[in-house]
Amino acid sequence: MCPANVEEGHQRGFIIPIGGAEDKEANPSILRKFTEISGGREAKIVVIPTASRLDDTGERYEKIFEEIGIGEVSHIDIKSREDCNNPEFASRCEEATGIFITGGNQLRLATILGGTAVAQVIRTANARGVHIAGTSAGASIMSEHMIAGGDSNESPKEGGAILAPGLGLTNAMIIDQHFSERNRLGRLLSAVAYNPFLMGMGIDEDTAAFIGPDDICEVVGSGTVTVVDGGDLTYSSAYGTDNRNALGLLGLKLDILHEGCLYDFNIREAFPPIEDRQNICKI
């Protein structure tokens, strides 16, 4: 599924996958930046807590955004596919300047949202400039191909990543979350092995990738974003192995980005923070 078409005169909004467990109190830099680009005190943010089974998730995020200071925030209580076809819920997403998808279970999120009116509104809203952020499960579902499961603490192998359809806000990458904390490099590499031209993006907790309409990503937060590029892969054993054997993958490119680093998906190249680039130029 390709991202929705951008109509003439519009610019695609940011997509902001967050690795989960973002700081919500002491230094909510990720949520604050999302709020700022969504309009600050004029922002109109809608929270979608569908991935979570906790009844108070939507209300908790409402309070968090209110404390940061925005114009309006509300959540829509989607618990079934029938809810997703409620015209009121779709209308509220259409009117938002920012949509925030909470964490929980990404397969629950995908099976409830996938192919519904709300899912379509989220896609078209992003195409006309609405910013979409998602944490943990809400991050995974942003890509066309979503990592729905797979083992942590494992070497890459056939079956190491279970894939399912995502929202298709991007078809350039596949996203994993809680990345370093749960040692998910192996399953991200397994996912990239299925289609080496896809970029793999592993996002740590309290870390976000702010991906702009120009397909340039800026890292915000206390952890790192790992980008795996299999575009120049010279060898893969993915087609001739089974679940018992580790994969061989030669020619991979891997970048690890901390706060302030940029990644340009157009040319598949990473850049240090601006201040470090300026210091390099002075040498």
CB 189 within 8 A of CB 249: yes
Where are the extended beta strands (E) located within the chain?
15-18, 44-48, 72-75, 98-101, 131-135, 145-149, 162-165, 173-177, 199-203, 207-211, 216-221, 225-229, 235-236, 249-250, 253-257, 262-264, 269-271
Tell which residue, 211, 200, 145, has the closest CA to residue 177.
200
How, if at all, do strands 216-221 and 207-211 pair? antiparallel
CB 11 within 8 A of CB 3: no
Distance CA 165, CA 266 (A): 23
Tokens of 154: 């494992």
Which residues carry out catalysis?
Answer: 136, 178, 205
Spell out the residues 6+ positions from residue 17 whose beta carbon is closer than 8 angstroms to its own: 133, 134, 138, 139, 140, 142, 175, 177, 201, 203, 208, 209, 211
C-alpha dihedral, 85 to 9 to 198 to 218, nearest 10°: -100
Q: In 97-108, which positions are buried (b, 16+ CB within 10 angstroms) versus exposed (e)?
A: bbbbbbbbbbbe
What radius of gyration, in Å, describes the C-alpha atoms of the chain?
A: 18
